[in-house]
Structure 1
């Protein structure tokens, strides 16, 4: 049977699969290196405790298709006295205890949330 591509089609497919595999592994390696860099940067940052207000809360759900389970990440945006805002990832149990408008002392280290102690708002 005549093929317009000849035998080159059988050599292109393995090369294409190899390129896709390299891209996938590259993305995975990049994510690991980025995560280690952020973890190291947070460890090098000082632990700070500042007055802050809870501005907003949000969730991000991923997965949950077919037989896989869903995973939910919880984020809270805090505003400090200078007016700067920062969004930090928190545990689900902490997320449920915080309400928009809460005022208190926020403890964090780099981009790592440590705790929020609710205080009396003025």
Structure 2
């Protein structure tokens, strides 16, 4: 059986190491966020014609057993296809997500990976989308 002094010796060694590891993780996370923001700021603001080709959500749930509080957070994503055929996915607000529909056509404005907005010009229905909806809407 270890004596109190031996046990505290281990704690005195382990605690500073744990503290340094936690500070290191926080520093790396903060640096990544700052570098991403700087990278986006260096990019030009672009406005391009695009079509909304997809929408998705990502829901995360948390439960605090001490207070019996449940919490859900939702991230909203919209995928745009630009004239070159490239697809770009951006996080948008819940309001913006609700106003978008697949097939909406308009002007997408963005800077790097930062979404600035989408001005709807109209709605286009591609042949495949029309056929899909027809085959799945008849009950």
TM over 0.5: yes
TM-score range, shorter chain: 0.7 to 0.9
- Any idea what the Cα deviations from partners look like across 1:42-69, whole Å, max 9, x if unmatched? 1221110111121222222335322364
Aligned to 2:25: 27
Gaps of 5+ in 1: none
User: RMSD between aligned alpha carbons?
Assistant: 2.2
Q: What is the 5 A alignment of 1:67-82?
A: 67=69, 69-82=71-84
1:59 aligns with 2:57: yes
Structure 1 residue ranges, 4+ long, deviating more than 6 angstroms after superposition: none
Q: What is the TM-score when the length of structure 1 is the normalising length?
A: 0.81
CA, structure 1 residues 76+9, in 2 after alignment: closer, same or farther (shift >3 Å)?
Answer: same
Deviates more, 1:110-119 or 1:63-72: 63-72
Q: Report the counterpart of residue 8 of structure 2 in structure 1.
A: 10
Distance 2:60 2:14 in 1: 29
Question: Is structure 2 residue 44 aligned with structure 1 residue 42?
Answer: no
Equivalent pairs counted in the alignment come to 119
Farther-moved stretch of structure 1 (70-79 vs 44-53): 70-79
| Unaligned residue ranges in structure 2 (runs of 5+) | 126-139
What's the secondary structure of 2:103's corresponding residue?
A: coil
Query: Per-residue deviation at 1:97?
Result: 0.8
For 1:50, what is the secondary structure of its paired residue? strand
Q: Which has the larger radius of gyration?
A: 2
For the residues of structure 1 that align with 2:8 and 2:33, how far apart are their CA atoms? 39
- The aligned residue for residue 104 of structure 1 is 106
Q: Per-residue deviation at 1:87?
A: 1.3
